[in-house]
Amino acid sequence: MVDASIVGFGFYYEKKVEVPAVELFKRSIIEAIKMANMEKDEIDGLVVTAVPGTIDNSHDTGIFLINKVASKVGINKLNYFDYVYTGGSSIVVGTYRAFKAVESGLANNVLVVGGGKGNLLKRIRSSMFESTIKNYVNEGVTYYELTIPTIEFYPTSDYALIANRYMREHNTDDSGRAMIAVKQRENANLNPKAIYRGKLTLKDVLESPMVSYPLRLLEVTNPVDGALAILVSKNASKSSISPIKLMGFGEATLTIPLAERENILDTPVKHSVRRALNSLNLDKIDYYGIYDAYTIMVLLEIEGIGLADNGKGGEFVMGDSFLPTSSYPINTSGGSLNVGQVGFTSGGVVLAEALYQLAGLAENRQVKDARIALVNTLGGVFDHSATIVLGVE
């Protein structure tokens, strides 16, 4: 079997840019190729991940989207290509696919690109999401009827529901969850490229405007424009970074819509993490990337990963954590809460920081001896969880 590794990556984003989405892809791809010291025409595999609506104002996906992206960036013949859409976890699933495509000989150099214009989808989101949700009801499922009053806030109101239930179930208040925003901001202040920076206290978070009870404005990510490109290759010799290897991967999916689940706190995270870790112990993990579109996601992921027992995630957050110098460095870029949610998913943001850490390119927020990183990402409303473990020698 071929020995595949990540040999380059590029992460380009801005709060808002008035260029086509494909141009964002192109900019991240140029960075990735440069890091890998590779020519564009060596690329013979392409995986595109994008939330429908972030490329242009249509739901169009699949072969046409990928062909357009490839054609625009000048990749003209592919032995392997894929469009992955598992929601916010797409880029992690796509990266795993790229490894497998190289390992199985389908292609030699596979480019994974994820992102798009978060701002574009923000503008058109109401009608897009309404159409998406309506598909649940077209064939008689009751989900839409049950949640119809909250559709305008989807998916925020669903995560709010979960946060609410969490507090009730575990008899906690908001502070542990809200503290996640504070910890991530401390990290963002070490990242000159973070879009949101500056001092942030727990009081600031708890007094920020209520979005959907109990989630407040500073607990919710804000979509921005950009893309992450990752190059997986069977030849690491020319790369300017140490090859980043795949050490484990797992995914898990719940197919019952949220409103119909027996227990809305029962997430797929523990299943995907267990599969990704395989025989590895958590004490081997040097860095954690945790999907952070909403603070409540991070809280439940911390518990799903096994960093804290159920209901004890808040206590873990309150302790020494998150900073590059702590025992548990988490989202050291500031996460999507502070970098912004690139292309309407937080997956690229948390994965990119893990890559910077493993490549030793995280500058003044570098985690010392970061050899193994675990990245957990989510899609849908806890519908899908994908966990990847990556490592360098």
Q: Which residues bind a copy of itself (CB under 8 A)?
A: 20-22, 52, 55-56, 58-68, 70-72, 75-87, 100, 104, 106, 131-132, 134-136, 138-141, 249-257, 268, 271, 275, 379-380, 383-384
98: nearest Cα among 246, 263, 228: 246
> Least distance from C-beta 127 to a copy of itself, angstroms?
11
Judged by CB, which is closer to a copy of itself: 55, or 182? 55
DSSP for residue 181: H
Distance of CA 40 to the CA centre of its chain: 26
> Least distance from C-beta 52 to a copy of itself, angstroms?
7
Q: Which helix (H) or strand (E) holds 229?
A: strand 223-233
11: nearest Cα among 94, 85, 86, 112: 112
Give the number of C-alpha atoms closer than 13 A to the C-alpha of residue 280, restricted to the C-beta side: 24
User: Measured between alpha carbons, how far is 203 from 178 in angstroms, rounded to an integer?
Assistant: 9
Judged by CB, which is closer to a copy of itself: 176, or 250? 250
User: Measured between alpha carbons, how far is 279 from 287 in angstroms, rounded to an integer?
Assistant: 18
For residue 79, give the 3-state DSSP assignment. coil
Q: Are 383 and 256 in contact (CB under 8 A)?
A: no
Judged by CB, which is closer to a copy of itself: 83, or 196? 83
Residue 331, by phi and psi: left (phi above 0), alpha (psi -120 to 50) or beta? left
80: nearest Cα among 61, 93, 60, 94: 94
> Least distance from C-beta 122 to a copy of itself, angstroms?
18
Judged by CB, which is closer to a copy of itself: 12, or 96? 96
> Least distance from C-beta 134 to a copy of itself, angstroms?
8
Judged by CB, which is closer to a copy of itself: 60, or 363? 60
Judged by CB, which is closer to a copy of itself: 37, or 76? 76
> Least distance from C-beta 348 to a copy of itself, angstroms?
16
DSSP for residue 55: S
> Least distance from C-beta 306 to a copy of itself, angstroms?
18
> Least distance from C-beta 376 to a copy of itself, angstroms?
15
Residue the block writes with tokens 């500031």: 334
CA angle in degrees (0–180, nearest 5) for 196-198-204: 90
Residue 100 to residues 32, 132, 377, Cα–Cα distance (Å): 19, 31, 19
> Least distance from C-beta 108 to a copy of itself, angstroms?
12
> Least distance from C-beta 63 to a copy of itself, angstroms?
5
The pair phi, psi for residue 237, each rounded to 5°, is -65, -30
User: Measured between alpha carbons, how far is 175 from 316 in angstroms, rounded to an integer?
Assistant: 12
Judged by CB, which is closer to a copy of itself: 182, or 381? 381
